[in-house]
Structure 1
Amino acid sequence: MTIQVYLVFILTFIIYIIGTLAYSARIVGVRTGRIAVSLAVFNVFVLIQRTANTIQAPLLAKTIENGINSGQSAGLIHIFRWVIFSITLATIAGAILMPTFIKIFNKLVISFSVYRSLPRLMMHAFSKSGIEQFKNSISIPKRENLSELKNFNKTSKKVILLNMISFSVSSISVLSALYAGCLSPDLRTTCSTLSAVINSISTIFMVIFIDPYLSMMTDDVIRGESTELEFNRCIIFIVGGLIAGSILSQFLLLPASKLIVIIARLI
């Protein structure tokens, strides 16, 4: 494997660990009652995620070009599977780090109300006191939170399933389009552009089903119509769905790539 491939693994890990930790923003918003501020602070982390994402695809595309030119494109499937495996590791790591991140994020939200400036907040985060607060925030998932996994019947199975499918589809949107170019090098430009079509399917699922459900639950907790425990239980199953979705991506990669090739030939 080349340096570019290892860099893709690292960037993929960063992208998806931040994406997993995104759900803790809602928990912090519920606990502090500062929903808008929580989302504003988290936009900093989203910026890091999106920046890494813009670099990831070109690096992987370059590896594919080299594989096609050298006549070794058939072996590239293993690289794609390792990339998906890094997504699984990132979602698991994000789930483990979520208690720590919630504490850090909680302090960032409170500090933002004091500094009222993202640059000043970031300077405080990397100061001596900020690093000390980070050390004090390190924690592991509590046993009582993990015990909520037993209460699967108390959570919307439809939302969890749709979230799992949506995450699985979004995880392979770019990867399947790129690998489709390996399967049909003469149509690789057309195949690569079809990744946006696949990703839009995932976006539709998120916008229509997942985000509104979580937003309504957030409002219910703020109004006292639902408990924080019920909300936390939902987030636990949502994150669990991300892990399951990343595993499902391994099985969807090849069929999705072949489907993209068929669509590219029909266009």
Structure 2
Amino acid sequence: MNSQIILVITLNFIISLIGTLAYSVRLVGVRTGKIAVSFALFNMLMLVSRIAVTFQVPILTKYVESNPGAGDLLIIFNIIILISGVATVFGAILIPTFQRILYKGVMSFSIDRSLSKLILHSFSKSGIRYIKECVSVPAKENVRQISYRKLPKRIMVYNLAAVALITVGSLAPIYAGFLEPDLRATCITLSPVVNGIATILMTIFIDPQLSMMTDDVIDGKCTQEQFRLCVIGLVGSKTIGTFASLLLLLPSSYLIVYVAGMI
């Protein structure tokens, strides 16, 4: 496999992994009562994700331009999506470990109020020892006790659709440019339109509900168990949405070609 594709797959894995871990930040914020600090520390990981996104699209576009006659391009794009799904599953498994590490980081930062000291401590012997002690996997008992009837199905559906659109949002325009080389530039510029629809879904239907539920937990109107169930539902819908984007890649690409031709 081409080194460019390996790099894209690696970057995509990082992006999907961090995106999945993001769902647990609110849980840590609720447990510590320091929601703003929790998001502030997590933003360091989000910075890594944003850098990965910045390089992913140009590298993949360059590969497509350099291999205009590649017959296995659709397979490569599907592999990229499959790796994203695997990263999402891996991220879901890592959530208990990540919660414990972030919880400790939030509490330490609240006391020392020094980001540099927190980073240095993370690489110290005691910091590495604590990280090892935090390693955990979802307990089978907790999984069995999940009340699937109480899952927020409406939010899960919106989240599934948003995740599927975001997953193909950067890939479909590039593949559309491969299908119609004369409209390549127009197809690629349509990427923000696809991602914009996903952003609208998140901004209107998902984020407000999560924010209200977070405040309800802080105010005692909602239990942490109910909130945890909501997060589990979102992680599950993200996993399904990522794999579901396999079905959207080809139709979305042809739709983008059609729209590009109509503009």
Structure 2 length as normaliser, TM-score?
A: 0.98
Q: Is the 8 A contact 1:145 1:233 kept in 2?
A: no
Residue in 2 that maps onto 1:102: 99
What is the CA deviation profile of residues 158-193 of structure 1, one whole-angstrom value per residue up to 9, with x for unaligned ones?
Answer: 110000000010011010010000100111110001
2:138 pairs with one of 114, 136, 141: 141
- RMSD of the alignment, in Å? 1.0
* Pairwise CA distance, 1:118: 2.1
Partners of 1:256 and 1:19 lie apart in 2 by 22
The alpha carbon displacement at 1:148 in A equals 4.3
Alpha-carbon separation, structure 2, partners of 1:229 and 1:144: 14
1:156 is displaced (CA, Å) by 2.2
2:88 aligned to 74, 88, 91, which one? 91
Matched residues, number: 263
Which residue matches 1:46?
46
- In the TM superposition, structure 1's runs of 4+ consecutive aligned residues that sit over 4 Å from their partners are none
Q: Distance in 1 between matches of 2:55 and 2:222?
A: 41
Displacement of 1:153 after TM fit? 2.1
In the alignment, structure 2 segments of 5+ residues that lack a partner are: none
1:254 corresponding residue in structure 2:
250
Contact 2:187 2:260 in 1 (8 A): yes
**2:185 alignment partner in structure 1:** 189
> Aligned to 1:125, which of 122, 133, 137?
122
Amino acid in structure 2 at the alignment position of 1:243: T
Q: Does 1:82 align with 2:79?
A: yes
Q: Structure 1: which 5+ residue stretches go unaligned?
A: none
Find the counterpart in structure 2 of residue 55 from structure 1: 55
CA distance in 2, matches of 1:143, 1:27: 20
CA distance in structure 1 between the partners assigned to 2:152 and 2:18 by the alignment: 24
TM-score (normalised: structure 1)? 0.96
SS in 2 for 1:41: helix
* Aligned ranges 1:1-267 → 2 under 5 Å: 1-68=1-68, 71-72=69-70, 74-149=71-146, 151-267=147-263
1:216 to partner: Cα distance:
0.9
Aligned-partner SS, 1:225: coil
CA apart distance, 1:55: 1.0
